[in-house]
């Protein structure tokens, strides 16, 4: 790894909710955390894709508070420690504040740093070509350019913004002329024919010092407000962070800078912005289907079928998306599958939990999976991570029974401690709080059965350590 790469800090933007990929992607569990196919989530794939060009120790991920612990867990699972590398945003304020937040954090460590910005939820098929383009972008950034990767368009896409380049620069780059919004089909066809327009992938490379100077010139209020918040030493919170400008990096900086460069690239990229785009990206079987999960298909062609827990059987289907999760099933013709966003809006307007979270909800201490919830009883599965403690509140349940199904569990209640083995259970009939601790090096799984007539579900889970 050369000196240029060693001083480069990759910044992954892991915000957003990915509503066009509902019901798999949800507000509390967005698409960057999802394993659509294969063993890795999108954020894990993005992390691994940076090696061996960039140092994994320099990676920074910007994400929301509500996703912090799970993003950190996914990063740790790649073999790269997340400690000090995950930067929390108290609330989403678009890409300009997120990038500036990361840049100011990086400048505390390296005044000469180069920063590369990548969305954490995009996919790239030709990784070696990506590496070559990344090395070229670093050289341009080191020369003082603010580089944006321009994807060579292969068809007149109307769902992406475009970048126009004009004038030759080193490394095969072009001078940045302008950004244009998502076009209609006729305009997109003109862009494709012109040859100087590229899809805007939201990927950048620049010197941290150069970007700070541009913020000072074009977004002075945002720069000085965020700098003051960080210099105060107090943690960022929703109240002070939400006062920052809600503006994209394109509008804030790239449309004003004279240092912009477009690096044309062609490494089979997709932003996975819909089920259709995921279908287009993934390899197909002999019937042009993308199938993942427990699926039996007969006379089925040109379909995307994704299963989670149940058997899916299809017969005489064509050009459809079928996506199953434990609490929801989405079926659509493939061309209009991006309209699922309107369904998510309806769910939110009607107060349905399905827009927000799955039956399994992740916490710092582990996860809680709803197995069955009725008015008079609830059955959940708790998974505690190693060395974590969970405080189980009684709520208004008359009784609770905890049964260990995997691992060993330490239970603390009213000054008493019990160590439960798999198959052993303990029952509580009073309202005292119970502390559950996993003393193992592996996760422990517990079935929790709560009984007693109530009007509302129990209090939300909380972490004690």
Sheet arrangement for strand 304-306:
290-292, 304-306, 320-324, 329-333
Predicted confidence (pLDDT) at residue 76 exceeds the cutoff of 50:
yes
Spatial contact of 120 and 42, defined as CB atoms under 8 Å apart: yes
User: What's the pLDDT at 379?
Assistant: 95
Strand pairing of 8-13 and 60-64?
Answer: parallel
- Name the average pLDDT for the chain: 92
Predicted confidence (pLDDT) at residue 112 exceeds the cutoff of 60:
yes
* pLDDT tens profile 29-74: 999 999 986 789 999 999 999 999 999 999 999 999 999 999 999 9
The rounded distance, in Å, linking the Cα atoms of 60 and 54 is 12
Instruction: Give the whole-number percent of the chain exceeding pLDDT 90.
Output: 84
* pLDDT tens profile 298-333: 999 999 999 988 999 999 999 999 999 999 999 999
pLDDT band at residue 393 using 50, 70 and 90 as cut-offs: confident
Predicted confidence (pLDDT) at residue 458 exceeds the cutoff of 50:
no
Spatial contact of 214 and 259, defined as CB atoms under 8 Å apart: yes
Predicted confidence (pLDDT) at residue 206 exceeds the cutoff of 70:
yes
pLDDT band at residue 405 using 50, 70 and 90 as cut-offs: very high
- As a whole number of Å, the end-to-end CA separation of the chain is 39
Tell me, what DSSP letter sits at residue 338? G
User: What's the pLDDT at 459?
Assistant: 43
Q: For residue 423, what are the CA distances in angstroms to 323, 366, 404, 426, 429?
A: 35, 20, 6, 10, 20
Which whole number is the average pLDDT over 341-368?
94
* pLDDT tens profile 175-187: 999 999 899 999 9
Which domains are assigned to the chain? 3-270 (3.90.550.10), 275-336 (no CATH), 363-463 (2.60.120.10)
Which whole number is the average pLDDT over 110-126?
95
User: What's the pLDDT at 192?
Assistant: 93
SS3 content of the chain, % helix, strand, coil (to 5): 30, 30, 40
Spatial contact of 42 and 36, defined as CB atoms under 8 Å apart: yes
Instruction: Give the whole-number percent of the chain exceeding pLDDT 70.
Output: 96
* pLDDT tens profile 4-21: 889 999 999 998 776 889
Position with higher pLDDT, 388 vs 16:
388
Predicted confidence (pLDDT) at residue 454 exceeds the cutoff of 80:
no
Which whole number is the average pLDDT over 124-143?
97
pLDDT band at residue 235 using 50, 70 and 90 as cut-offs: confident
User: What's the pLDDT at 455?
Assistant: 52
The rounded distance, in Å, linking the Cα atoms of 82 and 180 is 36
* pLDDT tens profile 147-166: 999 999 989 988 899 999 99
User: What's the pLDDT at 38?
Assistant: 75
pLDDT band at residue 465 using 50, 70 and 90 as cut-offs: very low
User: What's the pLDDT at 415?
Assistant: 80
* pLDDT tens profile 81-97: 999 999 999 999 999 99
pLDDT band at residue 464 using 50, 70 and 90 as cut-offs: very low
Query: pTM of this prediction?
Result: 0.90
User: What's the pLDDT at 137?
Assistant: 97
User: What's the pLDDT at 404?
Assistant: 97
Pair of tokens at residue 105: 């954090």
């Amino acid at each position: 790894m050369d000196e240029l790469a060693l001083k480069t800090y990759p910044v992954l933007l892991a915000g957003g909710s990915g509503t066009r990929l509902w019901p798999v992607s949800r507000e509390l569990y967005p698409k960057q955390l999802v394993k659509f196919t294969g063993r890795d989530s999108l954020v894990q794939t993005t992390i691994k894709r940076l090696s061996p060009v960039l140092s994994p120790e320099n990676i920074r991920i910007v994400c929301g508070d509500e996703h912090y612990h799970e993003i950190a867990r996914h990063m740790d699972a790649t073999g790269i420690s997340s400690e000090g590398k995950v930067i929390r945003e108290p609330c989403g304020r678009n890409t300009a504040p997120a990038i500036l937040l990361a840049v100011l954090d990086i400048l505390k460590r390296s005044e000469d740093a180069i920063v590369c910005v990548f969305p954490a939820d995009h996919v790239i098929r030709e990784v070696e070509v990506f590496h070559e383009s990344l090395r070229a972008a670093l050289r341009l950034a080191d020369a003082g350019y603010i580089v944006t990767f321009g994807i060579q368009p292969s068809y007149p896409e109307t769902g992406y913004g475009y970048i126009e380049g004009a004038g030759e620069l080193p490394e095969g780059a072009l001078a940045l002329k302008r950004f244009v919004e998502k076009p209609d089909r006729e305009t997109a066809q003109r862009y494709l024919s012109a040859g100087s327009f590229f899809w805007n992938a939201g990927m950048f490379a620049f010197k941290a010092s150069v970007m700070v100077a541009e913020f000072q010139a074009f977004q002075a209020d945002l720069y000085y407000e965020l700098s003051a918040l960080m210099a105060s030493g107090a943690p960022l919170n929703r109240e002070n962070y939400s006062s920052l400008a809600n503006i994209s990096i394109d509008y804030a900086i790239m449309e004003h800078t004279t240092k912009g460069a477009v690096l044309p690239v062609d490494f089979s990229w997709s932003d996975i912005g819909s089920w259709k785009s995921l279908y287009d990206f993934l390899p197909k079987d002999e019937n042009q289907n993308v199938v993942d999960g427990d699926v039996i298909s007969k006379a089925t062609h040109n379909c995307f079928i994704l299963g989670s827990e149940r058997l899916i059987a299809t017969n005489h289907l064509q050009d459809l998306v079928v996506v199953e999760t434990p609490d929801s099933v989405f079926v659509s013709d493939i061309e209009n599958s991006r309209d699922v966003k309107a369904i998510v809006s309806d769910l939110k307007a009607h107060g349905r939990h399905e827009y927000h979270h799955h039956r399994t909800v992740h916490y710092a201490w582990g996860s809680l999976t709803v197995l069955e919830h009725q008015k008079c009883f609830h059955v959940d599965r708790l998974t505690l991570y190693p060395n974590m403690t969970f405080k189980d509140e009684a709520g208004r349940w008359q009784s609770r029974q905890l049964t260990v199904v995997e691992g060993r569990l330490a239970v603390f209640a009213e000054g008493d401690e019990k160590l439960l083995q798999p198959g052993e259970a303990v029952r509580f009939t009073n309202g005292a709080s119970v502390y559950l601790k996993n003393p193992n090096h592996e996760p422990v799984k517990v079935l929790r059965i709560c009984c007693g007539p109530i009007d509302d579900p129990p209090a939300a889970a909380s972490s004690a350590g």
